[in-house]
Structure 1
Amino acid sequence: MVSARRSFQGSLPIAAMPRLCEALADDAGLAQYQLDFGRDEFGTAYVDVRVQAPLSLVCQRTLDPFIMPVTVESRLGLIRSEREEASLPAGCEPLLIAEDDKLNPIDVIEDELLLALPLVPVNPDSALPEDVTRPPAEPISAEERPDNPFAVLRELKKK
């Protein structure tokens, strides 16, 4: 595929990616993808991955599901051993391929979508529930304040 500079595009059901589905609230929808194989000016084999998918996540602020549109565009340098990683050009992520030179496109797409997931998903349109907001703090009088354990140090500093 690299030598022939092949390109593939299409859609893939999100439900066909089991590792990704474990991190989602729902497995509905389709991922639109395009994979372009080739060699760069240095002779490095690569695959350009472009994926767009509406992923259903659980907002960690409100615990409600929401749809987050994800777009991935990355260049993966195809390497056979970890020693080759240092020779990859800047901006090219390594992708270790099997000894038989076979690559499963679904696994590549799923890996890229997993890497694009936010660590803590938060719906940008969400707000804190009203029962979570705190009332304004009332000032505490000097008599009600607990003893400061560092007050002794302040007195020693004055001497």
Structure 2
Amino acid sequence: MENRLPLTIDPIKAAQKRLDYIGEFLAKNASRLAESVDSVNSNIECALSFGIDQQRLCVIKIDAKVLLTLVCQRCQKPFEVCIHVKNKFSPVKSDAQAEDLPECYEPALLNEFGEIDILALVEDEIILSLPIAPVHDSQHCEVSEADMVFGEIPTEDDRPNPFAILASLKNKP
């Protein structure tokens, strides 16, 4: 049986109750993630933990996994990758509050109802962890390392000296 997680939650109340959630977000609801990859192959498995730290800050711990298909930038063939993200957040109402947070926490912006969009938060973390230029391991890629070299590298003797023009200016009266 699938255990669906809440899409939004009041983090302050959840932290006071020290709630923990384990479940998943449906892949069809992760539209921004789907736009960033070739395909989303699994639901987003997620564990959420709410608590209060020693500084009396509300803390949200997220641990999420999803199976995605990316397109290799060398051979243009799709390949599967499992993305696993972990992070700690603390809810804030403004940018000023975000600047005052300890470095170990990322800010999570509260909406007008004092809630956090958990799905958007998890989606953002996954999107941020995607590789800039996804590629297969070189042993699995159809493009060999020899094919990745383009052109000839001139030897040092063949390259003109970039300072030769300065020498000609020095010799002029």
Identity within the alignment, %: 27
Q: 1:61 to 1:96 in 2, by over 3 A?
A: same
TM-score normalized with structure 2 length: 0.75
The secondary structure found in structure 2 opposite 1:121 is coil
Q: In the alignment, which residue of structure 1 is the partner of 2:46?
A: 33
1:116 corresponds to: 129
Deviates more, 1:118-127 or 1:58-67: 118-127
SS at match of 2:70: strand
Correspondence for 1:13: 26
Sort the Cα spacing of 1:135 and 1:46 in 2 relative to 1 into closer, same or farther, 3 A. same
Change (3 A) 1:134 1:79: closer
Q: Would the aligned equivalents of 2:108 and 2:116 in 1 still touch at CA under 8 Å?
A: no
Structure 1 unaligned residues grouped into runs of 5+ = none
The verdict on how the C-alpha distance between 1:135 and 1:90 changes in structure 2, with shifts beyond 3 A counting, is closer
- Which amino acid in structure 1 is aligned with residue 143 of structure 2? L
What is the identity, as a one-letter code, of the residue corresponding to 1:99?
A: E
2:62 matched to 1:49? yes
Q: Retained in 2: the 8 A contact 1:49–1:109?
A: yes
Write the mapping of 1:1-159 to structure 2, written as runs, cut at 5 A. Answer: 1-125=14-138, 126=141, 128-129=143-144, 133-134=149-150, 151-157=164-170
The number of residues matched between the two structures is 156
The CA deviation at 1:11 is 2.2
Distance, in Å, in 1 between the alignment partners of 2:104 and 2:36 is 27
CA displacement at 1:110 relative to structure 2:
1.0
Q: Which portions of structure 1, spanning 4 or more consecutive aligned residues, are displaced by more than 6 angstroms? A: 145-149
User: Cα–Cα, structure 1 residues 82 and 135, in superposed 2: closer, same or farther, change >3 Å?
Assistant: closer
Whole-angstrom CA distance in 2 between matches of 1:102 and 1:147: 64
Residue pair 2:40, 2:67 contacting (<8 A) in 1 also:
no
Scaled by the length of structure 1, what TM-score is found?
0.81
Aligned partners of 1:123, 1:39: CA distance in 2, in Å?
41
Counterparts of 1:102 and 1:146, CA distance in 2: 63
CA offsets per residue over residues 78-132 of structure 1, 9 Å max, x none? 1112211132122101111113112232222111111111222122243635655
* Structure 2: segments with no counterpart, 5+ residues: 1-13
> Are residues 138 and 40 of structure 1, via their aligned partners in 2, closer, same or farther at CA, if it must alter by over 3 Å?
closer
